[in-house]
């Protein structure tokens, strides 16, 4: 259990970024290097996708495994203190993510979620991105 006071913990949480994170910047650099052009964080789309390819009607979200509940080691890790708060917070994030993807589908957009843990294998990630962006629309 950590020894932070409530005010110290609040200060730490305020510094957690929602956009322009390290993983997001790595994906943006990779995608740009592959020759794709995109818009960032379009507020008029559900969930403000990290990368928007409007002409292709496709979007990419870059999710942190912990914050968005990925099925990996980091995503399954849960704080041992204040469990009710964290359970509600993280399940709320996952519910909101599913809702945003459904809304984007309704608007005619296809979504790809890139998980933080997937950044370890750049060759595999490149293949996933190219297949998603150049592949046929599924919807």
User: Is the residue at 67 inside a domain?
Assistant: yes
| Overall domain count for the chain | 1
Strand bridging mode 110-115 / 58-63: parallel
Q: What is this structure's pTM? A: 0.86
SS3 112: strand
Tell me the residue range of the domain where 118 lies: 19-134
Contact by Cβ (8 Å): 132, 79: no
User: Is the residue at 2 inside a domain?
Assistant: no
Q: What is the pLDDT of residues 6-53, one digit of tens each?
A: 777 566 666 666 678 999 999 999 999 999 999 999 999 999 999 999
Q: What is the pLDDT of residues 56-97, one digit of tens each?
A: 999 999 999 999 999 999 888 888 888 898 899 999 999 999
User: Is the residue at 11 inside a domain?
Assistant: no
Closest among 67, 17, 59 to 41, alpha carbons compared = 59
User: Is the residue at 3 inside a domain?
Assistant: no
Say which CATH number the domain at 37 has. Answer: 3.40.960.10
User: Is the residue at 68 inside a domain?
Assistant: yes
User: Is the residue at 13 inside a domain?
Assistant: no
Report the pLDDT value the prediction gives residue 49, as an integer from 0 to 100.
97
User: Is the residue at 4 inside a domain?
Assistant: no
What distance in Å separates the CA atoms of residue 9 and residue 62, rounded to the nearest whole number? Answer: 25
């Amino acid at each position: 259990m950590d020894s932070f006071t409530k005010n110290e913990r609040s200060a730490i949480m305020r510094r957690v970024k929602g956009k322009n994170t390290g993983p997001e910047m790595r994906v943006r650099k990779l995608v740009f290097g592959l020759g794709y052009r995109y818009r960032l964080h379009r507020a008029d789309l559900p969930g403000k996708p990290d990368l928007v390819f409007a002409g292709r009607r496709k979007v990419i979200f870059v999710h942190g495994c912990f914050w968005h509940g990925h099925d990996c080691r980091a995503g399954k890790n849960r704080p041992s203190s204040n469990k009710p708060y964290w359970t509600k917070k993280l399940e709320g994030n996952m519910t909101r993510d599913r809702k945003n993807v459904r809304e984007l589908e309704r608007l005619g957009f296809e979504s790809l979620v890139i998980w933080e843990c997937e950044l370890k294998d750049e060759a595999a990630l490149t293949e996933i991105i190219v297949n998603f962006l150049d592949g046929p629309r599924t919807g």
